[in-house]
Amino acid sequence: MKRIHPEDPRVTDHALGELPEHEAAELRRVADSNPAIQAALDETVALSDMIRSGFKGESHELGEARREAIRRAGRRPAPENLISLQSRRLDWVRSALVSAAAAALVACAIWMMQQIPISEDAIADNRDERAQREGVRVQILLSHVSPPRRVREGGFPRAPRASLWEADPELSQELVDEELLVMRELLQRDPDAFFDQVREVAHGAGMPALSKLPLLPDNPFIPTREDSRSIVPIVSGAASYHLVNRFIYTEKKLPPKNGVRTEELINHVVYEDDGDAALDGIKLGVEMVRCPWNQEAILIGVLLQNGSKEPITRDSILQIEVKHDLIRSYRLLGYAGAPGPREKEERALSESLAPGQSNYIIYQLQLLDSEIFREHHVLGRIELQLEGENDRGLIVPITSPPQGWGNASNNLQTAISLGAWGMLLRESPFAGRLSLKMLKSLASDAMSGCGDDELARREALQLVLDSLPFMKTRAPVK
């Protein structure tokens, strides 16, 4: 065996366990009597163990080519062959060489990690998980969710599989819960980021994910003889408008009917007015107009504005009550798949109406007698009962006769235009005589009443007008 020195490549071979036993024994014998060789051997073994521990659990062998790369990285000229080096500097040189070898070995380790292929199964699993998460978020944002009577810790409802996930029963409840919590925490921590996420999900949602959304039926007319009171939603979602915008302007076609939520089209716009009643910054207003597509009916716009410092929680109750001797039936526009009119514990997904936000709700009422159009009557009332305030709330009466379309506020004209648009996009069976020509007239009237600084409102109404050619020439995507 040739004379062994501290930088001998056999030191590296021994650390890798590749030195023949008779040479390994000789190396150990020499190391026992030579502290420099023993130190080099200990350092190389320690470095080898460190690299092995980093790859613990990996089933891939290094392979001969990679082993040779490590050997080459560990090979350095022997000190005695470097005639320009002075003896007093040999310790410094050895340390530097060992450090360089260590760095080279670490670099090789990183390179080897990059060369280890990821199995196709792992790639497929990651892709499937991303697709599942996208599907979950699309369904959360675009489907009606009826939270159960039991609320999870933190006040966020547990999504009921029966109403939300029946279209894709393979989704695990754990994944659904995780996505709900992620979205809730993001909304609480950074609302701007949350709505950026809404726009991103709506823009990136593919047809396979959208096709899994159930087409929830529009709310029917409720006979007042059966129930004259209806729980009014306090909040609505935000994703559907962005989805429709993407399909019209980017995809150049109509959105799938099951991706259109009328209430979210209406409430993309912010509505403000003085209200008919106010309490600690919270305002409640009611406005009534004859229904453009059914002259025997009326439309009631209910505007709830939260100008207080605290949210209006989902435990607050907003309800409409009408007189059954004057009103034959009523229906809520939007909120497809909403629960029955008096199921107080079955609300929308959103937890509360945040400070500075508003929600506009439209009801269509069918009258028992057309004389109501000419006479003064109290048809019913809107009542807001705040959480924990049994003796305080807001009440606004609903009185006839209704206004004509031309006298309605721009708030009501805009909300009705967006609501009518949603009905046609969804091909609602309650559209009556509503036509594209009528929709164009409604949206144009609302647009003419907008202020120049109301950019979001003008943008929404322009989207209505820009969608008309697609609605005329193409059927909505099934």
Per-residue pLDDT of 337-351, as tens digits, reads 765 544 444 443 446
Per-residue CA distances from 127 to 124, 175, 180 (Å): 5, 15, 20
For 384, what's the count of Cα atoms within 13 Å in the CB-facing half-sphere? 23
pLDDT score at 395: 94
What percent of the chain is predicted at pLDDT more than 90? 37
Measuring CA to CA, which residue among 86, 67, 84 is closest to residue 75?
67
CA dist 114 → 47, 66, 108, 109, 118 (Å): 20, 12, 10, 9, 10
At the top level of CATH, the class of 222-473 is mainly beta
With 0-12 / 13-18 / 19 or more C-beta atoms within 10 angstroms meaning exposed / middle / buried, residue 393 is middle
Q: How far apart are CA 167 and CA 154, in angstroms?
A: 28
CA 323/CA 381 separation, integer angstroms: 9
User: What integer pLDDT is reported at residue 304 of this predicted model?
Assistant: 96
Q: What mean pLDDT do residues 42-52 have?
A: 76
211 φ, ψ (degrees, to nearest 5): -65, -20
CA distance linking residue 116 with residue 66, whole number of Å: 12
In the chain, CATH 2.60.40.1230 covers 222-473
HSE-CB of 1 using CA atoms within 13 angstroms: 17
> Alpha-carbon distance 405 to 431, whole Å?
17
Give the least confident one: 1-15, 333-347, 391-405.
333-347
Mean pLDDT over 115-135 rounds to 57
Please indicate whether residue 92 or residue 228 has the higher confidence score (pLDDT).
Answer: 228
CA distance 86 to 79: 10
Q: What pTM value is reported for the model?
A: 0.66
pLDDT band at 70 (very low <50, low <70, confident <90, very high): low
CA 136 to chain centre: 9
In this structure, the chain runs to a length of: 478
- The answer, yes or no, to whether residue 363 has pLDDT greater than 90, is yes
